[in-house]
């Protein structure tokens, strides 16, 4: 489900009504919710952003099946596609909620995947964050007019802005990969020796590279100059021991036009240990 401006597909009616009411008016007092800590809340305020609501998107997804070649390294495209599509569904719904709140962006985004013992091929994908709005009405939305998204904490968000950059989008790249099993002859040849295991090395390299290049391509499409806080996580999601997911995620950023000098940091000695 790609993001469409003005669409609220997938959101329950009750969510639409509640989010509209949170903005205040029609006899109801506005009220914001946020999972920001007190320090994060105060730093967002200091940076001229007000939290407007805790937003969430979720999707329970049936992950398809793909045959694997036992002795071959290969990407499992059906599974990669599932991981992409389900995360995209959750992200899009979270962005739609932020739209309903009139937000400029979402900070502290967490992407979670829960697998349940009872649903072998199913997974619940969740995206959660706090929608924020700029007090001065500055333009912080992305090229295609989506609210910006970022997995940065309130502290990192404040520091990023002070450094003269603004977040654009939470970018991600994923690759589900089958690592080939060793042949009997190869295993016998290696017995008792120190040797590199080239098929394993190559598989991990390939999978990580595919995930990173996809994340980078997403950032380039957003018009970013770089990605901060990039991480590559290795997940297994309960699949076969030779099937792994490499998931690269980070916040794409661009410089804020006409920004001042970066404030000089003060050196401090902490009293805590």
- Per CB under 8 A, the list member of 76, 91, 126, 211 interacting with another protein is 126
Examine residue 36 and tell whether it contacts another protein (CB under 8 A): yes
Examine residue 82 and tell whether it contacts another protein (CB under 8 A): yes
Inter-helix orientation angle 154-162/38-46, to 10°: 20
3-state class (DSSP) for residue 8: coil
Examine residue 45 and tell whether it contacts another protein (CB under 8 A): yes
Minimum Å distance from CB 197 to another protein? 30
* Span from 26-34, 177-185, 237-245, 246-254 in contact with another protein (CB under 8 A): 26-34
Minimum Å distance from CB 124 to another protein? 6
- Per CB under 8 A, the list member of 140, 148, 157, 158 interacting with another protein is 158
Q: Which is nearer to another protein, 104 or 222 (CB)?
A: 104
- Is the separation of the CB atoms in 52 and 132 below 8 Å? yes
Pairing of strands 226-235, 243-255: antiparallel
170: phi then psi, degrees, rounded to nearest 5? -75, 115
Residue 73 in tokens: 């390294």
- Per CB under 8 A, the list member of 14, 26, 188, 261 interacting with another protein is 14
Minimum Å distance from CB 33 to another protein? 5
Rg (CA), the chain: 22
Minimum Å distance from CB 9 to another protein? 11
Other CB atoms within 10 Å distance of the CB of residue 40: 22
Which string of x and - marks every residue 46-65 that binds another protein (by CB under 8 A)? Answer: x----x--x-x-xxxxxxxx
Question: Interface residues for another protein in 178-197 (CB under 8 A)?
Answer: none
- Per CB under 8 A, the list member of 5, 7, 37, 145 interacting with another protein is 37
Question: Could you tell me the end-to-end alpha-carbon distance of the chain, in angstroms, rounded to an integer?
Answer: 49
Examine residue 113 and tell whether it contacts another protein (CB under 8 A): no
b/e map 55-89, b = 16+ CB within 10 Å: bbbbbebebeebebeeeebebbeebbebbbebbbb
- Per CB under 8 A, the list member of 73, 149, 150, 159 interacting with another protein is 159
Which residue reads 């495209």 in tokens? 77
Other CB atoms within 10 Å distance of the CB of residue 209: 14
Examine residue 89 and tell whether it contacts another protein (CB under 8 A): yes
Q: Which is nearer to another protein, 26 or 188 (CB)?
A: 26
Alpha-carbon span 246 to 230, nearest angstrom: 13
Contacts of 4 (CB under 8 A, 6+ apart): none
Residues that bind another protein (CB under 8 A): 10-12, 14-15, 18, 22, 29-39, 41-43, 45-46, 51, 54, 56, 58-67, 78, 81-82, 85-86, 89, 114, 116, 118-119, 121-122, 124, 126, 128, 158-159, 162, 263-272
């Amino acid at each position: 489900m790609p993001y469409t401006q003005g669409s609220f597909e997938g959101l329950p009616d009750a969510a639409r009504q509640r989010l509209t009411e949170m903005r205040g008016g029609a006899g109801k007092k506005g009220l914001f919710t946020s999972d920001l800590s007190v320090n994060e809340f105060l730093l967002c305020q200091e940076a001229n952003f007000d939290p407007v609501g805790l937003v969430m998107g979720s999707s329970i997804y049936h992950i398809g099946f793909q045959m694997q070649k036992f002795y071959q390294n290969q990407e499992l495209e059906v599974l990669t596609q599932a991981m992409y599509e389900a995360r995209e569904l959750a992200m899009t719904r979270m962005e739609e909620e932020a739209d309903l709140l009139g937000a400029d962006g979402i900070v502290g985004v967490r992407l979670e995947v829960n697998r349940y013992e009872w649903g072998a091929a199913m997974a619940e994908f969740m995206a959660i964050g706090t929608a924020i709005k700029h007090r001065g009405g500055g333009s912080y939305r992305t090229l295609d007019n989506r609210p910006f998204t970022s997995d940065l904490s309130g502290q990192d968000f404040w520091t990023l802005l002070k450094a003269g950059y603004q977040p654009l989008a939470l970018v991600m790249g994923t690759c589900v990969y089958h690592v080939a099993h060793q042949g009997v002859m190869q295993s016998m040849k290696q017995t008792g020796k120190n040797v590199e295991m080239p098929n394993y090395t190559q598989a991990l390299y390939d999978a990580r590279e595919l995930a990173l290049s996809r994340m980078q391509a997403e950032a380039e499409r957003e018009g970013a100059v770089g990605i901060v806080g990039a991480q590559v996580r290795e997940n297994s999601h309960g699949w076969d021991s030779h099937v792994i997911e490499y998931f690269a995620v980070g916040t794409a950023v661009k410089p804020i036009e006409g920004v001042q000098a970066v404030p000089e940091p003060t050196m401090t000695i902490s009293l805590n240990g």
